């Protein structure tokens, strides 16, 4: 490979420099491998990119995957390959006889070519996971074990590394699907192809408009479209263009939103759900002490003041106190992407970790992004040593490594919601992972009228209530979810009477019909968990900031825990 100056993607330039420096001659390319790659003002598939990359630099460029078998960039290269010592075959060279597709056979042919005197050859092996799959070495087939060992030998062969004019490119979308011996081999250099960032997406969108005739809605400037498509690659953008053309429509907000959601859900094996919150923090009634703090964090995010943004937040407290609603409202307020991360656990050994690792790469591509883990106490990947499953422990360790990466601060924020903060592993709750734990409690008296009014307005329900005191007295320790249920029942009563608006009478009637079925001791237990885990007094309701005694709360918590255990509740 010569040093001719040309514009290459950063990952390819890094590969080139390492090859020229003799650091490695075997490279494992992963993640965004099915995308179009920019090259000299054009965009081409990865296989064609490597052909152009090596064109004129290597005498032979050979490609292999288990489906297509051994192929070459040109017929002349085929003839050269089968003219090398130990490989001479007129039938193969002329294409009169098909080359066997079996991996072990083809790897043997390629090894002979790589070791041929003065050979100048680039070998590109695609879909590597089908050649050297992940799994315990003792459980692999004899051929798979042979393939893994062969590729390891190539990478560590001093002649190939120091004296020959050869290079080996291994390609797999999911790094975790490739055998561990290759992923961890010091002689094999790992190169991740990232998904395009904002500027790269913007450049490709301009290419689609100017060179491919893409039509974009006038209400969707390319700058905004580039932001909206965070997490997608160029091939995804091209497919959106084709879909719009097939439906004879311009690329607009609805098309991109719906397609993006479907693409990322499919690519993440259902582990990511893209959400688009409709309401900001002004739609949340009460909880002023929480909203004020979150508004400040949202401002830091919008202004790019990443050092002031927490790595993760945890919202703890009893059910119905607004944890999930506030998480979505905060995402809306921040103006960034928002996804729900679901449980990665599967029945097949190793697949859970591989899926979660790939999903983390997708999350990185979507940054800035808020990742919501709802009911985190139910997620085995959050519970660490609270479970005996080795899979769960590995998922947990993988998650906390990702959460604790300093490079993610201000770009990726996790929000964990939980009724039972005690079930989330303590290592996950330390500073540098979950920086702030905020308690969500039942609404104070003065806040409940505001919550009623907010919900009535949000639901578009006319109301005429001048005296809220009877309602305040009847709703002690009611959650936001309880109040919403009361509002909907009152609206139904008003509709039955054909009344123009919900009145105090309707609300009190709905309250009289409402049955609160819950274990008050369990609710108090959840409140105390949230209070004792709280990160700072400024995160407490104003009425508790001066009076809260953590030691007394811990003592009460222990008493309730003992009782609940005796009753078999926990």
Per-residue pLDDT, averaged over 253-280, amounts to 93
Is 94's pLDDT higher than 90? no
What gap in Å lies between CA 422 and CA 478, rounded to an integer? Answer: 23
Return the residue matching tokens 């964090």: 297
Are 395 and 345 within 8 A, CB to CB? Answer: yes
Per-residue pLDDT, averaged over 366-379, amounts to 91
For the CA atoms of 342, 348, 351, 355, the dihedral, rounded to the nearest 10 degrees, stands at -20
Per-residue pLDDT, averaged over 72-79, amounts to 94
Q: What is the pLDDT of residue 4?
A: 45
Any residues with CB less than 8 A from the CB of 559 and at least 6 apart, and which?
none
Per-residue pLDDT, averaged over 393-412, amounts to 90
Is 444's pLDDT higher than 50? yes
**Integer Rg of the chain from CA:** 30
Is 385's pLDDT higher than 80? no
**What mean pLDDT is reported for the chain?**
92
Omega before 510 cis (within 30°)?
no
Report long-range pairs for 224-227 (Cβ below 8 Å, ≥24 apart).
Answer: 225/251, 225/256, 226/198, 226/199, 226/201, 226/202, 227/198
Least confident segment among 195-199, 348-352, 417-421: 348-352
Q: How crowded is the C-beta side of 470, counted as CA atoms within 13 Å?
A: 13
Q: What is the DSSP string of 503-523?
A: EHHHHHHHHHH------HHHH
What gap in Å lies between CA 61 and CA 49, rounded to an integer? Answer: 12
Are 179 and 132 within 8 A, CB to CB? Answer: yes
Is 348's pLDDT higher than 70? no
Is 349's pLDDT higher than 70? no
In order of their start, the domains of the chain are 10-193 (3.40.50), 198-266 (1.10.8), 281-439 (3.40.50.300), 445-570 (1.10.8.60)
Is 323's pLDDT higher than 60? yes
Q: What is the pLDDT of residue 161?
A: 82
Are 33 and 193 within 8 A, CB to CB? Answer: yes
> Going by DSSP bridges, is the β-strand pair 412-418/312-316 parallel, antiparallel, or unpaired?
parallel
Task: Please state the length of the chain.
Answer: 570
Tokens of 410: 């201000």
Q: What is the pLDDT of residue 396?
A: 83
Return the residue matching tokens 């944890």: 323
Is 380's pLDDT higher than 60? no
pLDDT, tens digit, 9 for 90 and up, residues 159-209: 888 888 999 999 999 999 999 999 999 999 999 999 999 999 999 999 999
Which pLDDT band holds residue 531 (cuts at 50, 70, 90)? very high
Are 315 and 418 within 8 A, CB to CB? Answer: yes
Task: Identify the CA nearest to 327 among candidates 365, 287, 277.
Answer: 277
Q: What is the pLDDT of residue 3?
A: 40
Over pLDDT 90: what percentage of the chain?
Answer: 77
Over pLDDT 70: what percentage of the chain?
Answer: 96
Task: Identify the CA nearest to 542 among candidates 452, 461, 460, 439.
Answer: 439
Which pLDDT band holds residue 2 (cuts at 50, 70, 90)? very low
Are 137 and 143 within 8 A, CB to CB? Answer: no
SS3 label, residue 46: helix
Per-residue pLDDT, averaged over 28-51, amounts to 96
Is 6's pLDDT higher than 70? no
Tokens of 111: 């090894």
Task: Identify the CA nearest to 95 among candidates 75, 112, 109.
Answer: 75
Is 89's pLDDT higher than 60? yes
Query: How far apart, in Å, are the Cα atoms of 9 and each of 43, 44, 212, 509?
Result: 11, 12, 22, 67
Which pLDDT band holds residue 345 (cuts at 50, 70, 90)? low
Are 161 and 20 within 8 A, CB to CB? Answer: no
Q: What is the pLDDT of residue 247?
A: 95
How far is Cα of residue 34 from the mean position of the Cα atoms in its chain? 18
Task: Identify the CA nearest to 4 among candidates 43, 33, 29, 40.
Answer: 40
pLDDT, tens digit, 9 for 90 and up, residues 120-160: 999 999 999 999 999 999 999 999 999 999 999 999 998 88
């Amino acid at each position: 490979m010569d040093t001719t100056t040309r514009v290459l993607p950063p990952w390819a330039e890094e590969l080139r420099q390492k090859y020229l420096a003799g650091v490695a001659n075997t490279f494992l390319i992963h993640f965004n491998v099915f995308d179009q790659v920019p090259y000299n003002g054009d965009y081409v598939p990865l296989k064609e990119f490597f052909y152009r990359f090596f064109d004129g630099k290597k005498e032979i460029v050979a490609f292999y995957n288990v489906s297509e078998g051994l192929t070459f960039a040109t017929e002349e290269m085929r003839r050269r390959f089968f003219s090398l010592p130990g490989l001479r075959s007129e039938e193969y060279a002329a294409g009169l006889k098909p080359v066997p597709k079996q991996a072990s056979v083809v790897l043997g042919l390629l090894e002979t070519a790589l070791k041929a005197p003065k050979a100048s050859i680039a070998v590109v092996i695609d879909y590597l996971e089908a050649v050297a799959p992940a799994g315990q070495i003792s459980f692999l087939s004899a051929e798979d074990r042979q393939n893994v060992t062969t590729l390891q030998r190539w990478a560590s062969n001093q002649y190939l590394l120091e004296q020959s004019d050869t290079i080996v490119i291994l390609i797999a979308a999911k790094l975790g699907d490739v055998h561990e011996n290759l992923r961890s081999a010091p002689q094999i250099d790992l190169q991740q192809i990232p998904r395009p960032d904002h500027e790269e997406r913007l450049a490709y969108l301009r290419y689609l408009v100017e060179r491919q005739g893409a039509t974009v809605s006038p209400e969707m400037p390319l700058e905004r479209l580039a932001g909206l498509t965070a997490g997608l690659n160029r091939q995804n953008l091209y497919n959106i263009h084709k879909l719009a053309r097939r439906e004879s429509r311009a690329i607009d907000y609805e098309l991109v939103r719906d397609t993006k959601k479907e693409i990322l859900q499919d690519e993440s094996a259902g582990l990511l759900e893209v959400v688009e919150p409709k309401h900001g923090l002004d739609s949340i009634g009460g909880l002023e002490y929480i909203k004020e703090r979150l508004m400040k964090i949202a401002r830091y995010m919008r202004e790019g003041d990443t050092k002031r943004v927490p790595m993760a937040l945890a919202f703890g407290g009893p059910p119905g106190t607004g944890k999930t609603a506030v998480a979505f409202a905060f995402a809306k307020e921040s103006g960034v992407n928002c996804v729900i991360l679901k449980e990665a656990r599967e029945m097949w050994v190793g697949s859970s970790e591989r899926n979660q690792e790939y999903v983390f790469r997708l999350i990185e591509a979507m940054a800035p992004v808020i990742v919501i883990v709802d009911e985190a106490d139910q997620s085995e990947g959050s519970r660490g040593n609270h479970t005996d499953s080795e899979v769960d422990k590995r998922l947990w360790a993988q998650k906390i490594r990702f959460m604790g990466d300093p490079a993610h601060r201000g770009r990726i924020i996790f929000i964990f919601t939980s009724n039972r903060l005690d079930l989330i592993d303590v290592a996950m709750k330390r500073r540098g992972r979950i920086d702030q734990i905020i308690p969500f409690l039942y609404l104070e008296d003065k806040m409940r009228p505001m919550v009623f009014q907010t919900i009535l307005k949000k639901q578009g329900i006319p109301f005429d209530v001048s005296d809220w005191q009877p309602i305040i007295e009847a709703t002690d320790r009611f959650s936001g979810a309880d109040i919403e249920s009361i509002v909907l029942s009152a609206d139904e009563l008003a509709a039955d009477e054909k009344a123009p608006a919900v009145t105090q009478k309707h609300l009190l009637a709905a309250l009289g019909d409402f049955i609160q079925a819950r274990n008050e001791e369990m609710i108090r237990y959840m409140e105390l968990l949230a209070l004792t885990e709280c990160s700072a007094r400024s995160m407490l309701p104003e009425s508790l900031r001066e009076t809260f005694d953590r030691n007394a709360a811990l003592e009460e918590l222990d008493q309730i825990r003992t009782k609940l255990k005796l009753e078999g509740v926990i």
